[in-house]
Amino acid sequence: MASEDEEFTMLFQDFYPSLCRFLECLLGGRAPLAQDLAQESFLQLHRTAWETLPAGEARFWLYRVARNMAINEFRKSNTRYRLFDRVVEAMRPRARNPEQEYEVQERNAMVLEMLQTLPEDQRAALLLREQEQLSYREIGRVLNVSESKVKVDIFRARASLRERWTRLSGISRVARMGN
């Protein structure tokens, strides 16, 4: 049992932060909710599937379950939670210096804002590709779609983000020139 728990702990340490990041981006920056869902996914894995999953499958299982939970949250679309999350986020103690913190916050906010313009399936596919480095085949397994759909979704997501990014950069350049 001890070694099983050790294995699980290793898996948790390796993937929990990545899963949180994936969910946070998917949920539009709702960090506490993302952490709860990541924890819930691991809890389900530990209680139900850990011993029966074949080797190497746990990662895909986790991302699949976590993404389904995130979709359920979208359906709820509860603004009360969103407000609560933002309050919690604002009250969170920070370790970095304010300048670094500001920079990270700015970048994160911009990434989230851009990602939120994408449909959920494109966003999930792109995040799994860029952040988790999964291949199209692996993404297809997580999202339960074909490889060709993954390819198209990722391209469309990139094209759409690029267009938005170019527009935003143009606006900020004009604003800087105005100042």
Residue from 28, 64, 82, 108 touching other proteins (CB under 8 A): that is 108
Q: CB-wise, 112 or 145, nearer to other proteins?
A: 112
Cα separation, 48 vs 26, in Å, equals 25
What tokens were used for 154? Answer: 């990722």
Taking contact as CB under 8 A, which single stretch among the options 67-75, 76-84, 161-169, 171-179 is the one that binds other proteins?
161-169
What tokens were used for 173? Answer: 């350049």
Cα separation, 83 vs 33, in Å, equals 11
Q: CB-wise, 73 or 140, nearer to other proteins?
A: 140
Task: Check if the beta carbon of residue 129 is closer than 8 Å to that of residue 152.
Answer: no
- What is the distance, to the nearest Å, from the Cα of residue 38 to the centroid of all Cα atoms in its chain? 10
Per DSSP, the three-state class of 50 is coil
Taking contact as CB under 8 A, which single stretch among the options 6-14, 60-68, 69-77, 170-178 is the one that binds other proteins?
6-14
Q: Which of residues 57-96 bind other proteins (CB under 8 A)?
A: 58-59, 89, 92
User: Is 111 among the residues that bind other proteins (CB under 8 A)?
Assistant: yes
Taking contact as CB under 8 A, which single stretch among the options 63-71, 74-82, 134-142, 170-178 is the one that binds other proteins?
134-142
Residue from 60, 112, 116, 121 touching other proteins (CB under 8 A): that is 112
What is the 3-class SS of 74-141, one letter each residue? HHHCCHHHHHHHHHHHHHCCCCCCHHHHHHHHHHHHHHHHHHHCCCHHHHHHHHHHHCCCCCHHHHHH
Residue from 162, 170, 171, 172 touching other proteins (CB under 8 A): that is 162
User: Is 99 among the residues that bind other proteins (CB under 8 A)?
Assistant: no
Half-sphere exposure of 23 (CA within 13 A, CB side): 31
Q: Which residues of this protein are in contact with other proteins, per CB under 8 A? A: 3-5, 7-18, 20-21, 24-25, 31, 34-35, 38-39, 42-43, 46-48, 50-56, 58-59, 89, 92, 104, 107-108, 110-112, 114-115, 126-127, 129-133, 135-137, 151-152, 154-155, 158-159, 161-162, 165-166
